[in-house]
Amino acid sequence: MTDASQPTQLTVDHVRSGENTTRVTRVSKSDSEQSRAFVLVAGVGVAATYFEFLAPTLALRGDVYALDLPGFGGMPRPHVQPTPEFFADQVEAVLDHYGLDDAILIGHSMGTQVVTEVLVRRPELTHAVLVSPVVNEAEATAAKQGVRFVQSSVRESLHLALTALSAYMLCGAVYFLTVLPHMLRYRIRDRVRLVQAKILFIRGEYDRTSPRRFHSALTAAAAGSRRWEIEGAAHSIINGHAIGVAELTIRHLDDELRQRGRMSSDAAELPPARNADLAMLMNAMHSRAAEWVSALRGDERGVARAKAQHARILWRAYAPRR
């Protein structure tokens, strides 16, 4: 996390593309080393809250834009089919709105499909990170993916499970089941063949939805790509193992990574909060609940207030003790 003496700034914007709106949570530091931006795209049903630790860590290097795409995080659902191509249109609208000509795109789960589609369209983008990519075409059925998801979920923390559950409730079962067939049909291995950017693939050791053999196939298909694994992690490594994902991303950007490797869980896991107590925990839960209720009501000002409050709580919790 960031130094409390130079806190990260958080703002919430909205970018329209036709009739559709994407919520953008922007995290930045005035003293970032470089100005290249990071654009974070979450998976099906979940929201930018997944990036609560990854975003401020990456903000030490450049501005971060975490997206709630249409239908996710309480945003209005589109009136067209929610395909990876449709979501790629929304990401491109964000890139154009902010003038992000050479952003580093980071996708997680279904977000890897969306990012891949943007990379195919925009060969000028030079770097990307695909975390826990899906779908393994050998198991591209809803039943098989459901089993694999459950197998991976038993390795996740209670905090992450609650974060995911609240996001799924905002998304709704009907919309989730509308998006799911499009995700299952998308052939990411065929599409990454067309990408010119340097791709880093990251998976968790126990991620059954994104198996090691599948990563080998993706690396072989994507020219000049890298493949890394984080020990002890499962599917949602962008949260509990955010430190490792951020470090691998920066080393990939700086061309300091071997083509393949493994990172220990100790090196990748988020360290315990230095200034945590019961009051901090209760305040964090309250701010998350306030964000959820505001999103459910369509109160975007309330969402922004709750996000900023939650960020301040995390800064204080993880700041070095004086």
How much is the pLDDT for 30?
58
Determine the Cα–Cα distance for residues 229 and 247; give it in Å rounded to an integer.
13
Contact 310, 285 (CB under 8 A): no
For the record, the structure tokens of 193 come out as 């063949």
Q: Indicate the pLDDT class of residue 54, thresholds 50, 70 and 90.
A: very high
* Residue whose C-alpha is closest to residue 61's, from 33, 87, 26, 23: 33
Rounded (10°) angle between helices 110-121 and 173-185:
50
* Residue whose C-alpha is closest to residue 113's, from 139, 138, 97, 133: 133
Contact 229, 262 (CB under 8 A): yes
> Tens digit of pLDDT for each residue in 217-263?
999 999 989 999 999 999 999 998 999 999 999 999 999 999 999 99
Q: Indicate the pLDDT class of residue 33, thresholds 50, 70 and 90.
A: low
Cβ contacts of residue 240 below 8 Å, gap of 6+? 156, 157, 159, 160, 233, 269, 270
Phi, psi at residue 172, to the nearest 5°?
90, 145
Q: What's the average model confidence in pLDDT over 205-215?
A: 95
How much is the pLDDT for 119?
98
- Give this prediction's pTM: 0.93
